Structure 1
Amino acid sequence: MFPLRYAFRSLAKSPGYTAIALVTLALGIGVNTSMFSIIDALLFRAAPYAEPEKLVQLTGQLQSGPLFFGRFSAQEVREIAPQATGFAALTAYDRTMATLAAPGQPAERLLAIRFTRGAFETLRVAPLLGRTFTAEEFQPGRDQVAMLTESAWRARFAADPAIIGRTLRLDGEIVTIVGVLPARAEYRVYWGGASLWRPLNFTPDQLNFRGYRQFWVIGRLQPDVTPAAIEAQLAPLAARQTQEFPRDYPGLHYEAAPLNERVLDNVRRNMSWMLLGLAGFVLLIGCANLANLQLARATGSVRDFAIRAALGASRRHLIAQQLTESLLLSLAGGALGLLLAGWLNTLAEHALLVDGAPGFTVDIDARILALTLLISVFTGVLFGLVPALIASRPNVVATLKAQGRGSTGTRSQQRLRHALIIGEVTLALVLLAGAAIINRGLARMLARESGWDTGRVLTAILPIPETRYPTAARRVEFFHQLEEKLAAIPGVEHAALATSLPLLVDGTTRQVFVDAPAADGSAAGIVAVHQMVTSDYFSAMGIRLLEGHAFPRDLQPDGPAYILVNETLARHFWPNESAVGKRLGSVQEGQPVWREVIGVVRDVEPVASAENPTTRLTVYRPLVQEPWSYVNVVLRAAPGIGAVETLAEPLRRAIAAQDPDLAADFVVSVRTYVAAAQSNMILVGRLLIGFAVLGLVLAAVGLYGVISHTVAQRLPEFGIRLALGALPRDLLRQVLIRGVRLTTFGLALGLVGALVLGRLLGSIMPRLARPDPLGLAGVVLLLLVVTVVACWFPAQRAMRANPLDALRAE
């Protein structure tokens, strides 16, 4: 107990040191605890279902290029189910926005998840109220039922238990609420905050169109079955599909991965680990600072330790005393860090979006508490052990003879303090370089040239329920009428519809070719992105037509098979001649279909994506000849209209005039969409700025502390030199050169670390992280300026040393 009491007394006698140490530790441990909590919530927290380790998601990987599909067509789901016998249960699902109209409440748009039969066996979810879906309700014409999630039940229906059996109007249909799902079933980081679950029945159109991939597939493994075993079971199916449809499935193989691994893509997963590593740099800088402070205190208390050693105190006792003080500080700092981490986690819950859904839960559970305790103990040992070892070996005779003379400590102690400062500067430079790379990359991306005019463009997503528009003819008629209404809105220059936009994703992919298939169905083709668009799409998007013309406005569903292609595809197939008038083939249901190229347009990039910016080969096809059950609405505002968002309400009214039961989702300008899509990356950039500023401040404080301590210990020497005729500016120069020399060594090492970090970021986010010599030069200059400022005030004290005080001390 004596070391503990002594540590309390010692820290109480040095309130300034104690406060600085606690703040430093709270910041370092708090930031790291928060990052661990967020990464745990994103990457490691198991899905809230029974035996979550047995839940896997399927994807398809194509060997011709880095292409994969995470969703499957209805045909593919039907083919997969009987082959994957290692699944105890299997379900396919999709997400859709639905218009809910409850009696006495305004209609609202909600996210709904639709599952095929087997969903509840796969997830093993029991209802909180009511029941799940029966087998009959997964049959066509019997699916007018729905289940509410608990959050939707509480928020929209005041947790009324009488909701079971109540009918609501959903997308113009009358549906019956049969159950309420418990909160744990919602799993926001995966389902995206859905409010409704519904049965999913494949329509005839879906079953007849292999290329319409909109369904995810998850399954529950049988006992002792691994994901690799599922992949092996599906290998014969992949080989057969590749043989029968070589253009749709070039080198296909199926992959099965644990469900929680599909929450984040590799870019964001790697970014999470990188952020944790950089947060660790902040803690290391703090530890180096505290180690320097401890060394300074040990140097100032060396006489006390020498006396105690002369009186018989053992070295082990002295080390225990010093480590007790360090551990006491680190545990108190860890407790404060937990409070800080809780506050940071609250901010993260509201700021981070996972699959477009905000508000996922970041908890500090028993595992995080144990990790925080481990970090605290490790930190205490890290910054306290070396000073304890040094302080426990005093030279008793030399120390007692030295009496009250100033000393900067032994040469080895000085070297250690200098090494710690060099390390702090190195880590601070790496942090600042990372912040500069990401933030300058974000600025470039948000302002870059993408091949199309993103200004004055308003977009929206419009699902077309197949229950209301079951045939292609009805959807085509709807699209024609809607486009006319949209074009008639005052202030609209161009209006168009498309199945996808170059925002985050390009569209569906299929093989295209120019040579007729051989007898075995093979031909020299390549995978290209396919988008279905209306005739005014290119004008609405600001995509320049390089050759030929757009689709005729009067093109009919059974009219000529026309397409437009982008310039990269045209150069690939016809490098030395015009593509207009040429034929391009693709396969539908195993048969080649030939279409005539009538125009070539400029290449475009997905403006909101941080992925590799490699240009994709793109084919544009007329929407009237392949009318999907959802479209993107594109409105280009006329010049001088002001904010493009003013067109949002007229757009909604136009849709309501066409069909009162339909409503558009995500009505935003392209500029707003890009900012929202990159909100997480912008948050990462701000976090890096925060880490970098914190690291810079800690490094500056550490440098200031070391130089101040050196000057304080050498004040008698400086006074004597002034008495002997030295000029104050000589002392100023000496102190500044000492600080700049330490910083220069740190900068040299930091530049190496910054280059390594730049390469790492470049491999994770090629579009954002590019070589940035100007930014790196700015970081180096900033650190040099901070060094001069940190050393200036101690240097001023050296210049004002009183020679008389120095002579009296001697």
Structure 2
Amino acid sequence: MKHAFRSLAKSPGFTAIALLTLALGIGVNTSMFSLLESLLLRPAPFPRSTELHQIIANTRQGARYQFSEVETREIRERISSFSSVTTFRYNQTALAEPGRPAERVLSILVSAEFFDTFGVQPIVGRAFTADETRPGNNQVIVLSHRFWQQRFAGSRDVIGRTLRLDGETVTIIGVMPASFDWRFLWGMAGFWRPINYSPDQLNSRTYRTFNLVGRLRPGITPEQAVAELGPVAANQLKDFPKDYNDLSYRVTVLHKAQMDDTSRQILWMLLGLSGFVLLIACANLANLQLARATTAMRDLAIRAALGASRARLIRDQLVECLMLSLAGGALGILFAYWINRALSASIRIAGEPDGLGLQLQGSVLLVTFLVATATGVLFGIVPAWLSSRADVVDALKSQSRGSTSSRGQHRMRQALIVAEVTLALVLLGGAAVMQRGFAKFVQKDPGWDTARLLTGTLPMPEKRFPQPADRIEFHRKVLARLAALPGVEAAALATGVPIWGYGTDRQIHTEKQDASDTRNLPLASHVMITSDFFNVLGVSLLEGRMWPADIKPDDPKVIVINQSLARQLWPNQSAVGQRLASINGAENTWSEIIGVVRDADSPGEIGNPSTPYQVFRPLVHEPWSWVRFAIRAPAPAALVESVRRAIAEVDPDLPADEVLTVPQALDRSNHNLVIVARLLIGFALLGLVLAAVGLYGVISNLVAQRTGEFGIRLALGARPSDVLQLVLQHGLQLTAIGLLLGFAGAYGVSRLLNAIMPRMVSPDTLALSGMAALLFVVAILASWFPARRATKVDPLIALRAE
């Protein structure tokens, strides 16, 4: 230890550079592992949370997280793997208080077993009683800790107070602990309330809005639970073939179920690419160690001559490397802390920042220690082994400290530079491909006007609007009020707009297709709209017509389909006048196609949509209680408050929510992707700098070792340009090999990014070529300065040294 400390103290420049390099490499990796641990590995903050599993249905449309109450009852009654099973549903609730405008608050509607299943009880007040979870008795709520602090300043006198929610008066009976406010599951929820099932919800198999979570019994594995769920799925497929296709069930531990596959893949990719930064740092440090070992070869030879064993020499150098790496790891933790603070303030969870809670947990610190130790061994073992093999007599004969580099050391340093250039180009290429792909993605023409649009949501409580006629009348009043606002060119209502995706996939078939062959029928997104919808969005009507604005609920069923669906079903003829059936549970609804519109893509969706086909139906034929409004105006951002007031004039207890322009909505949708792109750029710049420093160090050391040779060449008549060319050629040959390998690696990373985000990123050889050219220019500059020094060698001084 003392020898290692003295050795490092003698070389303050080397020690400072090594510590900085290690701090950057280890710090980036520590931060990325901390991000992964927080989002994927950290258990949910509930007692024995590894027992909590979310039940998920695998269907032809993909993973389905929502179930109907009928399906929930069947699962509860037929399996015994869970000690309890609870359901919950997200619900946007209108909160109206005296003297304040109504606002939307996220609430969670829960079943009777909810708090027992999660194993957490209120810290103030009490949980729901069995009687309060019965239909019609749910006028009670339990507050989230965050809402309690924000709205009531943490007052314990809150119990017994009332709030006005969706036009009903409810009583506060409890407050949950702060640890229960898990934003990954509950979002920004303000309170929990018992589910009040309507008769339709209790008896409908296809009213799927409820999430299903169960707690496994002690000793029961997830595989056993899945095995029990298999017969349930088989019976449902057999008994209700029109409601299901390709159904199976799986269970996923709760904290892992909150992360979708795309986000999970992005996180692992970030961790892997941050590892490339660390590998470049290790290669840099190994090069520094080799250069330092070459300089100190006489000292090592003297120690060997005095009796130091080879194992002792290797051990001393490894101890030195471990001291460096552990100190660098400590600095890396400080660097990671700074990165984590920036990420926590930037990354949005449930649409809001500061919800990530990135912390350097014990597991993260342990991984940092292991990484630092492995780094010390990685960049220290090869230089130590090569140095210990040096011939003692040759080293002692040498009169020049820089002239004892062995052929093995020289080859190792060259290989390390090639590896650094390769990894740097992989990072640069990945960052460039994603950045160019993202720019193209947001600039691509989606098929509709994104510049002059204002959108928002308008949830309607089913209790207040139980009948279709009630909802139709409310839709009519809101639409008339919005269309009459000054500055509004057109307004429409719909159950989905392209910026947020359409959702609601249903199987469809023509008169020539077999309706019973549900496994092979195509899927189409179904959107219920008002007649001016395409005019508002600026979507071209390619063929046919729209239905009139005054269409009635009992008028003949008509639909408009998109261009892709028309081409798929009727490639050689007009789709207008054809009949198309939509399967919604047991219902098989036939409609006449009266128009075909241009495809309208979602610019905020990075993955492939579940289906490229869309069917647009009159909203009066299927009046939902949850709709979005869309307004076209020259200055949409200036209308936000006017729109809110207009809707409040129709019903002051039903405020609009998420009132945003399309650019604002895109920013919200793509915010975290922008952060991912910036992280990749940061990794790439770090890799570029480290590779340039490494190449500069190798060429500088080469010049120092070959000073005598260059002096002799100049003395014998070589021109300075010849020496310059010789040194540059050496550096650029290594760079060229690294670029060839790196181009292949970068192309592989671009293919990986394409698999994760197919609509945004595609392999881009132009971007990769540009990054290779940039790295080549940097390599020229890194080699140029030491090469220039070689041309200024004084032959007399160089020959005297020899």
Alpha-carbon distance, 1:551 to partner? 2.5
Alpha-carbon distance, 1:245 to partner? 4.2
Q: Structure 1: how far apart are the matches of 2:84 and 2:785?
A: 71
Q: Structure 1: how far apart are the matches of 2:336 and 2:98?
A: 44
Q: RMSD over aligned Cα, in angstroms? A: 2.0
Q: Does 1:634 align with 2:665?
A: no
The amino acid of 1:268's aligned partner reads: S
Which of residues 181, 191, 195 is equivalent to 1:196?
A: 191
Q: Structure 2: how far apart are the matches of 1:546 and 1:207?
A: 43
Partner residue in 2 for 1:69: 64
Partner residue in 1 for 2:372: 376
Q: Does 1:167 align with 2:136?
A: no
| Contact preservation (8 Å) 1:700, 1:790 | yes
Which of residues 173, 178, 184 is equivalent to 1:183?
A: 178
Partner residue in 2 for 1:335: 330
Partner residue in 1 for 2:113: 118
Q: Structure 2: how far apart are the matches of 1:361 and 1:96?
A: 25
Alpha-carbon distance, 1:209 to partner? 4.8
Q: Structure 1: how far apart are the matches of 2:62 and 2:126?
A: 41
Q: Does 1:43 align with 2:40?
A: yes
Q: Does 1:665 align with 2:665?
A: no
Which of residues 674, 678, 682 is equivalent to 2:670?
A: 678
Q: Which moved more, 1:441-450 or 1:427-436?
A: 441-450
| Contact preservation (8 Å) 1:459, 1:634 | yes
| Contact preservation (8 Å) 2:297, 2:401 | no
| Contact preservation (8 Å) 2:525, 2:611 | no
Alpha-carbon distance, 1:210 to partner? 4.2
Deviations 1:341-379 (A, max 9, x none): 111111221222344343221121111111111111111
Q: Does 1:128 align with 2:123?
A: yes
Q: Structure 2: how far apart are the matches of 1:7 and 1:719?
A: 36
Query: Residues 517 and 602 of structure 1: is their aligned pair in 2 closer, same or farther, counting only changes over 3 Å?
Result: closer
| Contact preservation (8 Å) 1:238, 1:253 | yes
Q: Structure 2: how far apart are the matches of 1:14 and 1:24?
A: 16
| Contact preservation (8 Å) 1:460, 1:666 | yes
Deviations 1:129-153 (A, max 9, x none): 1111111111222111111111221
Q: Residues 559-598 of structure 1 correspond to what in structure 2 (within 5 A)? A: 559-588=555-584, 590-598=586-594
The amino acid of 1:125's aligned partner reads: V
Query: Residues 741 and 439 of structure 1: is their aligned pair in 2 closer, same or farther, counting only changes over 3 Å?
Result: same
Q: Does 1:528 align with 2:524?
A: yes
Which of residues 444, 447, 453 is equivalent to 2:443?
A: 447
Partner residue in 2 for 1:362: 358
The amino acid of 2:247's aligned partner reads: L
| Contact preservation (8 Å) 1:147, 1:179 | yes
Query: Residues 581 and 614 of structure 1: is their aligned pair in 2 closer, same or farther, counting only changes over 3 Å?
Result: same
Q: Residue 491 of structure 1: SS of its match in structure 2? A: coil
| Contact preservation (8 Å) 1:408, 1:710 | no
Which of residues 784, 801, 805 is equivalent to 2:797?
A: 805
**TM-score normalized by the length of structure 2:** 0.96
Q: Which moved more, 1:348-357 or 1:764-773?
A: 348-357
Alpha-carbon distance, 1:613 to partner? 5.5
Q: Residue 172 of structure 2: SS of its match in structure 1? A: strand
Identity of aligned residues (%): 52
Q: Residues 343-422 of structure 1 correspond to what in structure 2 (within 5 A)? A: 343-358=338-353, 359-404=355-400, 406-407=402-403, 409-422=405-418
Alpha-carbon distance, 1:205 to partner? 3.8
Q: Structure 2: how far apart are the matches of 1:405 and 1:588?
A: 83
Q: Structure 2: how far apart are the matches of 1:246 and 1:303?
A: 84
Partner residue in 2 for 1:558: 554
Query: Residues 483 and 320 of structure 1: is their aligned pair in 2 closer, same or farther, counting only changes over 3 Å?
Result: same
The amino acid of 2:650's aligned partner reads: Q
Query: Residues 408 and 94 of structure 1: is their aligned pair in 2 closer, same or farther, counting only changes over 3 Å?
Result: farther
Which of residues 727, 736, 755 is equivalent to 2:747?
A: 755
The amino acid of 1:460's aligned partner reads: G
Q: Which moved more, 1:360-369 or 1:427-436?
A: 360-369
Which of residues 236, 239, 255 is equivalent to 2:250?
A: 255
Partner residue in 1 for 2:729: 737
Q: Which moved more, 1:68-77 or 1:526-535?
A: 68-77
Query: Residues 758 and 587 of structure 1: is their aligned pair in 2 closer, same or farther, counting only changes over 3 Å?
Result: closer
Which of residues 663, 688, 692 is equivalent to 1:696?
A: 688
Q: Does 1:151 align with 2:136?
A: no
Q: Structure 1: how far apart are the matches of 2:111 and 2:611?
A: 36
Q: Structure 2: how far apart are the matches of 1:87 and 1:313?
A: 66
Which of residues 459, 462, 478 is equivalent to 2:458?
A: 462
The amino acid of 2:43's aligned partner reads: A
Query: Residues 580 and 85 of structure 1: is their aligned pair in 2 closer, same or farther, counting only changes over 3 Å?
Result: farther
Q: Does 1:322 align with 2:310?
A: no
Alpha-carbon distance, 1:589 to partner? 5.2
Q: Which moved more, 1:667-676 or 1:220-229?
A: 220-229
Which of residues 613, 617, 623 is equivalent to 1:617?
A: 613
Q: Structure 2: how far apart are the matches of 1:331 and 1:695?
A: 21
Q: Residue 448 of structure 2: SS of its match in structure 1? A: coil
Alpha-carbon distance, 1:101 to partner? 4.0
Q: Structure 2: how far apart are the matches of 1:566 and 1:84?
A: 43
| Contact preservation (8 Å) 1:149, 1:196 | yes
| Contact preservation (8 Å) 1:613, 1:766 | no
| Contact preservation (8 Å) 1:246, 1:521 | no
Deviations 1:47-89 (A, max 9, x none): 11122122121222224xx534222234433443323433221
Unaligned runs of 5+ in 1: none
Q: Structure 2: how far apart are the matches of 1:589 and 1:713?
A: 80
Q: Structure 2: how far apart are the matches of 1:792 and 1:453?
A: 52
Q: Structure 1: how far apart are the matches of 2:513 and 2:88?
A: 35
Q: Structure 1: how far apart are the matches of 2:63 and 2:511?
A: 25
Alpha-carbon distance, 1:230 to partner? 3.4
The amino acid of 2:112's aligned partner reads: R
Query: Residues 298 and 42 of structure 1: is their aligned pair in 2 closer, same or farther, counting only changes over 3 Å?
Result: same
Partner residue in 1 for 2:135: 140
Query: Residues 197 and 785 of structure 1: is their aligned pair in 2 closer, same or farther, counting only changes over 3 Å?
Result: same
The amino acid of 2:389's aligned partner reads: R
Q: Residue 353 of structure 1: SS of its match in structure 2? A: coil
| Contact preservation (8 Å) 2:714, 2:720 | yes
Q: Structure 2: how far apart are the matches of 1:367 and 1:707?
A: 40
Q: Structure 1: how far apart are the matches of 2:242 and 2:597?
A: 24
Alpha-carbon distance, 1:42 to partner? 0.7
| Contact preservation (8 Å) 1:434, 1:757 | yes
Q: Residue 522 of structure 2: SS of its match in structure 1? A: strand
Q: Structure 2: how far apart are the matches of 1:624 and 1:671?
A: 30
Alpha-carbon distance, 1:792 to partner? 0.9
Query: Residues 693 and 588 of structure 1: is their aligned pair in 2 closer, same or farther, counting only changes over 3 Å?
Result: closer
Q: Structure 1: how far apart are the matches of 2:110 and 2:316?
A: 63
Q: Which moved more, 1:475-484 or 1:607-616?
A: 607-616
Alpha-carbon distance, 1:549 to partner? 1.5
The amino acid of 2:753's aligned partner reads: L
The amino acid of 1:8's aligned partner reads: F
| Contact preservation (8 Å) 2:351, 2:668 | no
Q: Does 1:646 align with 2:638?
A: yes
Partner residue in 1 for 2:277: 282
Q: Which moved more, 1:372-381 or 1:78-87?
A: 78-87
Q: Does 1:430 align with 2:426?
A: yes
Q: Structure 1: how far apart are the matches of 2:757 and 2:741?
A: 24
Q: Does 1:98 align with 2:93?
A: yes
Deviations 1:646-700 (A, max 9, x none): 1111110111111111111111112221222111111111100000000000000
Count of residue pairs the alignment pairs up: 801
Q: Does 1:773 align with 2:773?
A: no
Q: Residue 110 of structure 1: SS of its match in structure 2? A: strand
Which of residues 297, 301, 310 is equivalent to 1:306?
A: 301
Q: Residue 146 of structure 1: SS of its match in structure 2? A: strand
Partner residue in 2 for 1:599: 595
Query: Residues 252 and 270 of structure 1: is their aligned pair in 2 closer, same or farther, counting only changes over 3 Å?
Result: same
Query: Residues 727 and 215 of structure 1: is their aligned pair in 2 closer, same or farther, counting only changes over 3 Å?
Result: same
Unaligned runs of 5+ in 2: none
**TM-score normalized by the length of structure 1:** 0.95
Q: Structure 2: how far apart are the matches of 1:531 and 1:614?
A: 14
| Contact preservation (8 Å) 1:456, 1:636 | yes
